[in-house]
């Protein structure tokens, strides 16, 4: 009965009930007493006065009580101080104020729940990231330590061993440096500290330069770098040329690393009116569907053993994703085990 009543309606109900009861008692007293008699107008006056007094008292009590309770609730669910005119703003007696508060409390609970979920995801990501960094740094550090201690234990005097161990230590130091530089690049991109030098250039011409740079690596695995049929057109795009060069190098290098020996790496261009879609495809080992959502994660390796043999920091695709997103563009991947992978990114058409 009182579930959806406003405080004003509750005060009126209490006033009418109490005033009616008082008027009834007065009427009964007048019937039972020989010295007290009340007329109908007098009875109406008693009812009206009682109604006004009880309504005022009940209204004030409910208003004061609800305000105090609501203020305590708002102190809990709001992070900012309550305004000085909070009472005038929040206590509107003609409305169902309790429903309003319940709605706000539910919203607060949902927000806190989302915050807790986000914090839990961040905590999991942080733990995983720290574990991945530790794992990636551990191997080169352990190798360097082994080579240095071996040299200190006397191998420094062996001409057949000392240069070999020093060269191996130097390669591991270079790997450490590459990991640190890649992490620094990602942090700059995430923090928005990397300023893009946007200008127009020919994407086919840039790809030719990348093919020339990667030609020797491709030759080592007998992989042919080529364009898909119909990709002979030259498109001008507007982007940071050196950043996109890094993107193409990482994608082509990735296709060589995971491509099939004697296979092919193909680059395609598609005109999408306002954008140019650039795709880098290989016919290599491919990836299963469960790995695709994590391809651009830091240090993710679908084939860990092959990744370590081929080198790299495990941060290349994470950098690619951040660079593309810094251009406010998208990148995606399609892959089938045994058939190869295709990475596609969009660039603004000049």
DSSP notation for 252-281: HHHHHHHSPTT-EEEEEEEEETTEEEEEEE
* pLDDT for residue 247 is more than 80: yes
Position 122 in a domain? no
Report how many domains make up the chain: 3
Domain membership flag for residue 28: yes
17 and 45: one domain? yes
Confidence of residue 88 (pLDDT cuts 50, 70, 90): very low
Q: Quick one: which of 286, 189, 166, 287 has its CA closest to 247?
A: 189
Inform me whether the pLDDT recorded for 89 exceeds 50.
no
On whether both 283 and 312 belong to a single domain, the answer is: yes
- The boundaries of the domain holding residue 245 are 198-348
- Using an 8 Å Cβ cutoff, are 263 and 276 in contact? no
How many other C-beta atoms lie within 10 A of the C-beta of residue 144? Answer: 19
Would you tell me how many other CB atoms lie within 10 Å of the CB of residue 156?
14
| Strands lying side by side in the sheet with 340-348 | 224-227, 264-272, 275-282, 340-348, 331-336
Q: Full-prediction pTM beyond 0.75?
A: no
Domain assignment present for residue 112? The answer is no
Residue of 17 and 323 predicted with greater confidence? 323
Residue 56: band (very low, low, confident or very high) from pLDDT cuts 50, 70, 90: confident
Q: In this predicted structure, what is the pLDDT of residue 78?
A: 58
**100 falls in which pLDDT band (50, 70, 90)?**
low
Q: What is the pLDDT of residues 107-165, one digit of tens each?
A: 777 777 787 877 777 676 667 667 667 767 787 888 888 888 888 888 888 887 888 88
pLDDT of residue 86: 46
């Amino acid at each position: 009965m009182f579930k959806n009543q406003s405080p004003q309606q509750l005060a009126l109900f209490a006033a009418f009930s109490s005033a009616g009861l008082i008027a009834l008692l007065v009427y009964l007293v007048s019937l039972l007493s020989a010295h007290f008699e009340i007329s109908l107008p007098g009875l109406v006056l008693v009812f009206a006065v009682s109604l006004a007094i009880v309504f005022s008292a009940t209204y004030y009590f409910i208003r004061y009580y609800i305000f105090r309770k609501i203020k305590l609730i708002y102190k809990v669910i709001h992070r900012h101080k309550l305004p000085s005119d909070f009472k005038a703003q929040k206590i509107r007696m003609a409305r169902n104020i309790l429903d309003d508060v319940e709605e706000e409390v539910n919203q607060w609970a949902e927000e806190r729940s989302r915050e807790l979920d986000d914090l839990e995801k961040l905590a999991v990501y942080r733990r995983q990231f720290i574990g991945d960094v530790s794992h990636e740094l551990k191997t080169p550090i352990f190798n360097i330590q082994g080579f240095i201690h071996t040299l200190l234990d006397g191998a420094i005097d062996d001409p057949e061993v000392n240069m070999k161990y020093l060269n191996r230590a130097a390669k591991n130091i270079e790997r450490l440096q590459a990991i640190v530089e890649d992490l620094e690049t990602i942090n700059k991109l995430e923090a928005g500290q990397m300023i893009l030098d946007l200008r127009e250039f020919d994407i086919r011409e840039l790809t030719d330069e990348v093919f020339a740079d990667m030609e020797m690596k491709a030759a080592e695995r007998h992989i042919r770098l080529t364009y898909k049929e119909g990709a002979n057109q030259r498109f001008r795009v507007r982007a940071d040329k050196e950043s996109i060069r890094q993107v193409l190098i990482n994608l082509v290098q990735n296709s060589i690393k995971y491509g099939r020996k004697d296979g092919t790496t193909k680059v395609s261009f598609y005109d999408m009116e306002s954008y140019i879609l650039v795709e880098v495809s290989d016919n290599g080992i491919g990836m299963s569907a469960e790995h695709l959502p994590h391809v651009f994660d830091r240090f993710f390796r679908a084939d860990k053993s092959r990744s370590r043999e081929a080198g790299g920091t495990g941060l290349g695709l994470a950098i690619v994703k951040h660079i593309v997103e810094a251009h406010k563009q998208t990148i995606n991947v399609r892959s089938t085990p045994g058939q190869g992978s295709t990475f596609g990114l969009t660039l603004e058409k000049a």
